Amino acid sequence: MKTLHIEMGRHRLGGTMQVYYLMRGLRARGEPAVLVCARGGDLHRLAEADGLNLRAVDFAGDIDLRFIWRLAAILRAERPDVIHIHSRRGADTLGLLAAKLTGIGKVVLSRRVDDPVKPGWLTRLRYVTLPDRVVTVSKGIARVLIEAGVPAEGIRQVYSAIDFRAYQSALDVAQARAKLDLPAGVPVLVVIAQLIPRKGHRFLLQALPRIRAVHPDTQVLFVGEGAEEATLRGAVSAAGLDGCVRFLGYRNDIGDILRACDVLVHPATMEGFANVAMQAMASGIPVVSSAVGGMPESVRHEVTGLLVPPQDPAALADALLRLLGDPALRQRLGAQGREIVEREFNTDAMVEGNLAVYRELLGGGRA
């Protein structure tokens, strides 16, 4: 069984890393697989350095219609049994059209976000007519599709995974804090997400006055880049929080950053299944997250972290104050999170879940 995987994301984000883990897992199992990725992007560099079988192509963006013909040529040359389209936005639509044009292989489409989907013929074309199966990374995303009229029998759910070992920092807490120039003994909260509105950074900023009234030396780290950076920096300055909130930009040393922190905060308004929550769990720190999308499937309330209503700074402050005031609770939730992510969200489970979908399509039974 030969599979071909399409991921045109240029940056080392959660979805891109899932494809990288999947390709490595398929190779380890002796399963022939080809990766089609954007030339010069992070995934291209990672896959090339790892010796993965890849075809790097030029991709000018979501309306690059010439990509259809470039991809069709690759499909005809490779002739895979299964084509798995991982990208979102334009690249997935273009990939679906290229697969349809060639008529080669069964087609699997991944969906990693819980953005609203409008019922209608376009939704049916994208999620029913063109792909043979849709794979969602959480039950929450599957519900969004089903509510939009996509038949449940065409959807399979396979959780995202992380490389557990990648988040076992070699540093102790003191070393990790020294690396980030953080004082010993102060509470440290971290948000690791793109700086875009739906990630909800503003709600943590609104919760901070209550938190700092109890813990005045609290430090907050924003890790990531995005279009809302200038707005967030302005809000931080306007609230007089410049000495409290730091913007670290895009980082590759997430394991070391998490080791320095007490709580990961994920106040998103929408979220399919945040890989960063699993990263925090692997690092042994608890998570406070909005109860949106697929988040309750990884951040289990009172087990691996605390869930709060979305867009509710007061509830967010309450949850964070509870954790900051109870080191034993933080330790318990962190330890349970580490056990759960190692047992349930490992790369082997993710690879086998996708393989089951491929085998089902090729006549091997229900995934």
What DSSP string runs through 265-308? EE--SS-S--HHHHHHHHHT--EEEE--TTGGGTS-BTTTEEEE
Cα–Cα distance list, 230 to 11, 108, 196, 265, 318 (Å): 21, 38, 11, 20, 28
pLDDT band at 113 (very low <50, low <70, confident <90, very high): confident
Regarding whether 99 and 30 lie in a shared domain, the answer is yes
Residue 329 or 93, more confident: 329
Same domain, 35 and 151: yes
Amino acid at 261: C
Residues 54 and 185 in one domain: no
Q: What is the pLDDT of residue 232?
A: 97
**Tens of pLDDT, residues 185-207:** 999 999 999 999 999 999 999 99
Domain shared by 185 and 43, yes or no: no
When divided into structural domains, the chain yields a total of: 2
Q: How far apart are CA 137 and CA 367, in angstroms?
A: 15
**Same domain, yes or no: 183 and 117:** no
| pLDDT attached to residue 10 | 78
Q: Whole-number mean pLDDT of the chain? A: 92
Question: Given this model, what pLDDT does residue 364 score?
Answer: 67
pLDDT in tens, 236-291: 999 999 989 999 999 989 999 999 999 999 999 988 888 899 999 999 999 999 99
* pLDDT surpassing 80 at residue 14: no
Q: Are 10 and 74 in the same domain? A: yes
CATH number at residue 286: 3.40.50.2000
Element (H, E) at 9: none
Two structure tokens written together for 165? 């070992």
Together in a domain, 206 and 314: yes
What pLDDT digit, counting tens, does each position of 130-156 carry? 999 999 999 999 999 999 999 999 999
Q: Are 81 and 107 in contact (CB under 8 A)?
A: no
With contact defined as beta carbons under 8 Å apart, do 101 and 130 qualify? no
Which pLDDT score, from 0 to 100, does residue 74 have?
A: 94
pLDDT band at 68 (very low <50, low <70, confident <90, very high): confident
Residue numbers of the domain that contains 36 = 3-161+346-364
Do residues 121 and 179 share a domain? no
Q: State the pLDDT at residue 316.
A: 98
On whether both 320 and 183 belong to a single domain, the answer is yes
What's residue 284's pLDDT? 93
Residue 9 pLDDT class (50, 70, 90 cuts): confident
